[in-house]
Structure 1
Amino acid sequence: MAESCKDLPDECWELIFNRLHKLHHSHLESPSLCCKRFLSITNTLRTHFTLIDATVFPISILLNRFPNINSIDLSSFRNGDLDRVVADIASSNLNLKTLVFSGTDGLPLGSLRILGSRMKNLRALMCSWLRTLRDIELFVIADSMPCLEDLDISYPLNSFRSDPEIQGLSQGDVGVTDMGIEVLSSKLKCLRKINVSGNEFLTDKSLLALSTNCVHLTDIVVRNCSLVTLDGIKFVMHNSTNLSSLSLQEIDFGRLDNYSIRCARNISTLEIYRSVVPDEYLHLLANAGIPLKTFALLFCTPVCFTFSGISSFFNKYRALKSLSLSAIPFLSDEKMSDLSQCLSALVIIRLMVCYNLTESTFFTLAKNCPLLEDISMERTNLGGGGGDMATDIVQNPTIRSLNLANNPNLTDECLAKLASVCPSIEVLDVSSCERITEKGIAEFWKRGSKIRKLRIAGCVGIRSIGNSFQLSELEVLGAAGSGINELVVSGNRCGGLLHLNLKGCSGVTTVALKEILTNCERLRNINLIGCLNVSREMVDWMVFSRPSLRKIILPYSHLPSESQRKLFLRHGCLVLSEQAEVEL
């Protein structure tokens, strides 16, 4: 192939391969095996790298192979010396812009200082869910990375923080405090986005420091910070003139004045969680005239606001693109029908834990919101009989994604009606809908849907997938805890499958698994925890017969020895136990 097109310049090949890369990075594997020239070209196209293990290959070899990497994710790093890895990254010639530490044990401060001094273009640092995060880590970040624009320090675990007095430690020794945020904000003058959620010692002083020192702030996320009050939020609204996105939790909006809302004149995204939101606030918000495009009202105290409040709000914000509502008991099909008249511009809607909403609301939204692409009605009452009242069902081909999980009354008959409305579905989640079977899922394929991601976790009535249909577009099948056991048919018809989660599918056998691995030539990840009829000897066969595999998750009892694990890793496949399980 390369010889017949030897006169085609590298720039043309790069355009061709880049188109494949945008579809999925795995599409570059085949051309990279053709010749060294193609390998060199495809290596330059990769810009993101996820590192899991550093015990087999020196990280420096990988970094040299991909010279245009600008984003590195260490959140799944499990084996090796993290400090050594960060030092190798720092000594490379990469022009790094994003670095993710989320979920690791902590930040290697020594090597992080070196990296910060050398990677002058580093703009985003993600440090959520660290096992340890204290003021000292913030001091190092502030000193070594002054050009940061995006910082996530949310939800540190800090397991030893619960009683600092007993431990003989100050708050700054066991978690992030106002002092840490004050020092951080005084040095990160370019900061635009910050997430401080879950840092329990922070007070309004932190918001005052951020708003005063970081004049370019556009996005602030402050959730699960119980000491932050409305006074701190008001200060931010008054002083952060560039603020466009605000996400809050546990705030009493009853004292918020009209002036404070009008000061936040650039806010386009407002998310409110578990807060007190009275009708008076919704009326003030409706009259403020701010350019809202995204709004979320989630698990807020429903006795504080009424249908009148949210109706007046939606009537003024008819240009909303994204809406999320949850746990609002007074929402009914009839009321959603009224509200939908104001929501014609919606692209995304999420209605969760609203048990009075049935499929009638679904049909109404599909009809009155012609731009809708994503509908989520999780934990509602789909199948509860609302379809009997729907007389005007209109097809909406723009809808691409459906999340219908945790609807215990959803039946195959109801699912067939929903499928008739959405012939273009690409993502479907019906997890924990125990009454549906494979017949209900098949209705989407009958209507011509090209589903790429299908999640049927907990659907015990689904025994097989894909009978009589060619599912070449299906890339993700999340079937954990389902009744699926007939994988032979799926294997023959799902040749494009990349990710397969069979956790808890006890009916899957070694024969069936061999069939699907033989036919799914692009399969990369598979979860086999709880597949009791799959022998441990299958691991060797899977790794060596399916070279596309990159991750296999097994029960702890099926884990190979350390030497075998390293051998598998040299062939490009990481074998993990259930203790390191990652949902597919």
Structure 2
Amino acid sequence: MADQWEYLPEECWESVFNRLGHNRHLEAPSLVCKRFLSICNRLRSSLTVSDPTVLLHEDISRLIRRFHLLKRIDFVEFHGDADLLLREIGRSGLNLEVLNLSKQRRVPVQGMKELGAKVKTLRVLICSRQCSLQDSDLIAIADSFPSLQELDISYPEQDFGSLTKIDSIEYECAVSGSFPGTVSDVGIAMLSSKFQRLCRIDVSGNHFITDRSLLSLSSKCVFLREIAARDCSLISEIGIALAIRHNPHLISLSVNGSKIPSAFSSSSFTIESSLICGRALCTLDFSQMSISDDLLSSIIQAGLPLLNLALSRCRGFTFAGLSLLLCKYCSLNYLDIEGAAFLTDQSMLELSQYLHDVKFINLNSCSNLSNSAFFLLVKACPYLEEIRMERTNLGKEDCPSDMNSQLQNLKLSWNKSLSDKTLQKIAMVCPNLRSLDISHCWGITGEGIGYIGMNCCEIKMLKVNGCSRLRNLGMNSGFSKLEVLYASESGIDDDGLRMIRHSCRWLLRLNLEGCLGVTAEGVKEVVTNCKAIKEISLKKCCNVASDVIPWMVITRPSLRKLIPPGMEKKTKSQRPATAP
């Protein structure tokens, strides 16, 4: 009877493995036997290729043939022959939908052309942070994938020096439509005319595109619904107004235009006067702009179907303007008002009556907010899933505990007043936490973090970087589901690692950079018992003997990345391709 499982049909095993959820949970059953490995390979939908040693044609072909249902492939920071890889993907017959080519030295134009000729299912292409990106690359992308729905060409990493002051020659080159070796208005115009189905584009960080690019995108791409153009030095508020006017179907606009001179010099082209045309706008991100109460009033008068609003680090608006806006849009799900210095506990009491439906709120750097504001939000917002209150006065005032929140994510780093007592109250009212960041909260000790382990049984990610008084995760720590622990430059020592060994059996990633209390003995405790661990950083752990590194490589085959005290080193078991 014990061996009857071997005779179950593969369809049954596929159903069982599918219930595991994320692809990373397939690794354990794939190690049981070759049959399970074959089944797991067939079920994988995503693959990350990062090791530059994947160079041989035979290796690439064999790799691609292992996975039949891949929908997404990531080549982030891959430094091998990307053209060769793309050609093999094209020949594989995969119905690929998402391709990530971020952080490449160049765009693999030839490989894209061959891939585009054979794979017609690609709908998302990510080419962010390219070391070299220019107009000819955009044209090649458009020619290769004319049916693309989403394109990300954000933040190319060409070094142009400081762009805070663009001299007249550079400015004239940019507004004339082209600038050698960069993405310019010419490339965006060509791309806009070729894409017929483009729904979303991110051009953030391209410093030499102007208002003309926003006009081209909004007027030529008839299916375009989302535009992101943050940190584009030559885009002005006039360009933002033109984008809204020429595409009334936009549902999301993320920009931070300036008041620089525009090629379209007309006082009638203002954001305030154009918002009435944005009948479908659900998401507005005007972060780091100068925002007046008049603009907030224009948003109210436009009657937008607004659900997500970001005014992070904005200047110019007041509590009165914000209050009127939130009163109108009391159905907001997402609110980012980072750096709103005028906010106090009392003002948050007034605003909370309009935040019933909020799921995410960012109050970072609102230095006047304390415990009162935090627990008020927890009580007033029943659907709240994430709060960010970094660099505030959290830790001051009393802490009520007669409530139960659905909060899953908390980012509370750099709160110098945060204490174990406050953390205990947070643990009591937020039992559903999945992620907690209390980095650089210097008052926290193992006693405080222990309350989190005991009360928040679902927590999977914990960040305690810089918590120098934190030696362990509590004497009776739970954390049975913890997968990621970032504890760089914390007080974690060998005794703390022994506790982690017993409680965090499913740990996947551990960062101990700069933990001077850690030695090889403590590291061995973790490596021996955390059998699923994939990444460990021991950088600057000067008390860890280097001879433990070979032992770690041999003892724990699951390791994919190991950073020893001196330099980065990859393990023998680091596969050419790893599934996340």
**One-letter identity of the residue aligned with 1:287:** Q
1:118 equivalent to 2:118? Answer yes
Q: Secondary structure at the match of 2:383?
A: coil
1:545 to 540, 544, 555: 555
Larger RCO (alpha carbons 8 Å, 6+ apart): 2
- Write the distance in 1 (CA, Å) between the matches of 2:102 and 2:422: 41
1:198 equivalent to 2:205? Answer yes
Contact 1:526 1:551 in 2 (8 A): yes
- Write the distance in 1 (CA, Å) between the matches of 2:475 and 2:131: 46
Alignment of 1:176-195 (within 5 A): 176-195=183-202
Structure 2 equivalent of residue 51 of structure 1: 49
Structure 2 equivalent of residue 578 of structure 1: none
Report the CA distance between 1:506 and its aligned residue: 1.8
Report the CA distance between 1:517 and its aligned residue: 0.6
Post-superposition Cα deviations, 1:10-60, rounded to whole Å, max 9, x if no partner, equal: 22221110111x1x4232223223333322221111111110114257222
Alignment of 1:373-384 (within 5 A): 373-383=385-395
Structure 2 equivalent of residue 273 of structure 1: 287
Indicate the RMSD between aligned Cα atoms, in angstroms. Answer: 2.5
**Deviation larger for 372-381 or 310-319:** 372-381
Report the CA distance between 1:228 and its aligned residue: 1.2
Structure 1 equivalent of residue 232 of structure 2: 225
Structure 2 equivalent of residue 406 of structure 1: 414
Residues 252 and 359 of structure 1: CA distance in aligned 2, closer, same or farther (over 3 Å): farther
- Write the distance in 2 (CA, Å) between the matches of 1:36 and 1:68: 18
**Deviation larger for 89-98 or 203-212:** 89-98
Contact 1:127 1:153 in 2 (8 A): yes
**Deviation larger for 410-419 or 314-323:** 410-419
Residues 448 and 101 of structure 1: CA distance in aligned 2, closer, same or farther (over 3 Å): closer
- Write the distance in 2 (CA, Å) between the matches of 1:158 and 1:423: 46
Structure 2 equivalent of residue 334 of structure 1: 346
Q: Report the TM-score when normalising by structure 1.
A: 0.90
Contact 1:370 1:396 in 2 (8 A): no
Report the CA distance between 1:173 and its aligned residue: 2.5
Report the CA distance between 1:199 and its aligned residue: 0.9
Structure 1 equivalent of residue 336 of structure 2: 324
Contact 1:552 1:574 in 2 (8 A): no
Report the CA distance between 1:572 and its aligned residue: 3.2
1:506 equivalent to 2:516? Answer yes
- Write the distance in 1 (CA, Å) between the matches of 2:255 and 2:98: 25
- Write the distance in 2 (CA, Å) between the matches of 1:150 and 1:540: 44
- Write the distance in 2 (CA, Å) between the matches of 1:393 and 1:463: 27
Report the CA distance between 1:331 and its aligned residue: 0.4
Structure 2 equivalent of residue 12 of structure 1: 12
Q: Secondary structure at the match of 2:254?
A: strand
Alignment of 1:279-290 (within 5 A): 279-290=293-304
Contact 1:2 1:35 in 2 (8 A): no
Report the CA distance between 1:266 and its aligned residue: 0.9
Alignment of 1:238-249 (within 5 A): 238-249=245-256
1:94 equivalent to 2:115? Answer no
Q: Secondary structure at the match of 2:73?
A: strand
Q: Secondary structure at the match of 1:323?
A: strand
Residues 282 and 393 of structure 1: CA distance in aligned 2, closer, same or farther (over 3 Å): farther
Structure 1 equivalent of residue 263 of structure 2: none
**One-letter identity of the residue aligned with 1:446:** M
**Deviation larger for 289-298 or 409-418:** 409-418
Contact 2:454 2:478 in 1 (8 A): no
Report the CA distance between 1:448 and its aligned residue: 4.6
1:416 equivalent to 2:414? Answer no
Structure 1 equivalent of residue 530 of structure 2: 520
- Write the distance in 2 (CA, Å) between the matches of 1:333 and 1:425: 24
Residues 472 and 292 of structure 1: CA distance in aligned 2, closer, same or farther (over 3 Å): same
Q: Secondary structure at the match of 1:159?
A: coil
Post-superposition Cα deviations, 1:231-281, rounded to whole Å, max 9, x if no partner, equal: 221222122132111101134699736552121111111111111111111
**One-letter identity of the residue aligned with 2:186:** M
Residues 452 and 496 of structure 1: CA distance in aligned 2, closer, same or farther (over 3 Å): same
Q: Secondary structure at the match of 2:354?
A: coil
Alignment of 1:300-379 (within 5 A): 300-301=314-315, 304-379=316-391
Structure 2 equivalent of residue 386 of structure 1: 397
- Write the distance in 1 (CA, Å) between the matches of 2:272 and 2:440: 44
1:30 equivalent to 2:37? Answer no
**One-letter identity of the residue aligned with 2:146:** P
Contact 1:431 1:455 in 2 (8 A): yes
Structure 2 equivalent of residue 580 of structure 1: none
Structure 2 equivalent of residue 132 of structure 1: 132
Report the CA distance between 1:318 and its aligned residue: 0.8
Residues 366 and 106 of structure 1: CA distance in aligned 2, closer, same or farther (over 3 Å): same
Post-superposition Cα deviations, 1:437-488, rounded to whole Å, max 9, x if no partner, equal: 1111112233354321100011111111242234321111010111111311
Contact 2:209 2:234 in 1 (8 A): yes
**One-letter identity of the residue aligned with 1:87:** R
- Write the distance in 2 (CA, Å) between the matches of 1:509 and 1:180: 54
Contact 2:427 2:451 in 1 (8 A): yes
Structure 2 equivalent of residue 72 of structure 1: 73
Contact 2:240 2:271 in 1 (8 A): no
Residues 252 and 443 of structure 1: CA distance in aligned 2, closer, same or farther (over 3 Å): farther
Report the CA distance between 1:114 and its aligned residue: 1.3
Post-superposition Cα deviations, 1:176-198, rounded to whole Å, max 9, x if no partner, equal: 00000000000011111111111
2:306 to 292, 297, 303: 292
Contact 1:194 1:220 in 2 (8 A): yes
Contact 1:287 1:316 in 2 (8 A): no
- Write the distance in 2 (CA, Å) between the matches of 1:70 and 1:188: 22
- Write the distance in 2 (CA, Å) between the matches of 1:558 and 1:176: 36
Residues 532 and 574 of structure 1: CA distance in aligned 2, closer, same or farther (over 3 Å): farther
Post-superposition Cα deviations, 1:409-442, rounded to whole Å, max 9, x if no partner, equal: 1111222222222122221110111121111111
Report the CA distance between 1:110 and its aligned residue: 1.6
Post-superposition Cα deviations, 1:478-505, rounded to whole Å, max 9, x if no partner, equal: 1011111131121122111111011111
- Write the distance in 2 (CA, Å) between the matches of 1:104 and 1:209: 27
Structure 1 equivalent of residue 277 of structure 2: 263
Structure 2 equivalent of residue 476 of structure 1: 484
- Write the distance in 1 (CA, Å) between the matches of 2:525 and 2:335: 43
- Write the distance in 2 (CA, Å) between the matches of 1:208 and 1:466: 57
Structure 2 regions of 5+ residues with no counterpart? 261-266
Contact 1:83 1:108 in 2 (8 A): yes
1:529 to 523, 532, 539: 539
Alignment of 1:441-520 (within 5 A): 441-485=449-493, 486-520=496-530
Contact 2:281 2:305 in 1 (8 A): yes
Residues 2 and 318 of structure 1: CA distance in aligned 2, closer, same or farther (over 3 Å): farther
- Write the distance in 2 (CA, Å) between the matches of 1:148 and 1:69: 18
Contact 1:461 1:483 in 2 (8 A): yes
- Write the distance in 2 (CA, Å) between the matches of 1:257 and 1:224: 18
- Write the distance in 2 (CA, Å) between the matches of 1:297 and 1:257: 15
Residues 313 and 251 of structure 1: CA distance in aligned 2, closer, same or farther (over 3 Å): farther
**Deviation larger for 59-68 or 175-184:** 59-68
- Write the distance in 2 (CA, Å) between the matches of 1:539 and 1:182: 53
Residues 284 and 160 of structure 1: CA distance in aligned 2, closer, same or farther (over 3 Å): closer
Report the CA distance between 1:5 and its aligned residue: 2.6
**Deviation larger for 319-328 or 249-258:** 249-258
Q: Secondary structure at the match of 2:213?
A: helix
Q: Percent identity?
A: 42
Post-superposition Cα deviations, 1:369-405, rounded to whole Å, max 9, x if no partner, equal: 111111111111111x232xx6x64422311111111
Q: Secondary structure at the match of 1:544?
A: helix
Residues 309 and 508 of structure 1: CA distance in aligned 2, closer, same or farther (over 3 Å): same
Post-superposition Cα deviations, 1:273-331, rounded to whole Å, max 9, x if no partner, equal: 11111111111212222111111111111xx2111100000001111111111111110
**Deviation larger for 193-202 or 231-240:** 231-240
